[in-house]
Amino acid sequence: VQLQASGGGLVQAGGSLRLSCAASGRTFSNYAMGWFRQASGKEREFVAAIRWRDSRIYYSDSAKGRFTISRDNAKNAVYLQMNSLKPEDTANYYCAAGVRGILSSGYDYYTKLRNYDYWGQGTQVTVSS
């Protein structure tokens, strides 16, 4: 599975960006796709995830109410609409795909980096104050 993230850029605080992640190669019916971010000098952290089977969605506390994750089945793509951006959202954003989740897997599962098997190259988001 290859993941290609795009859509990052420079935006002023309060602005919006839409990130895209296209998946190619082998796909799975029960996988999930997530967005993570890593700010300079910090650990990579969970932002949002969506399960392909049932479209169940998970958000980090920092993303709730401002970010929206969505998918396009036909394009095998996932998107992250980010509104009301803040300087603290500045980071390299990565999309990831996890194929080992099961029906009972929930928030605690999908927020962990180790449960994702494929990673995109990252797209930089910079929010100026």
Phi, psi of 108 (to 5 degrees): -60, -30
Unique residue bearing structure tokens 């098997």:
117
- Reading the block at residue 36, the tokens are 């993570």
The per-residue pLDDT for range 88-121, each reduced to its tens digit, is 999 999 999 998 888 888 999 999 999 999 999 9
Residue 18: predicted pLDDT: 98
Per-residue pLDDT, averaged over 43-56, amounts to 94
Residues 10-21 pLDDT 10s? 999 999 999 999
Facing residues of 35 across strands?
A: 48, 95
pLDDT at position 28 over 80: no
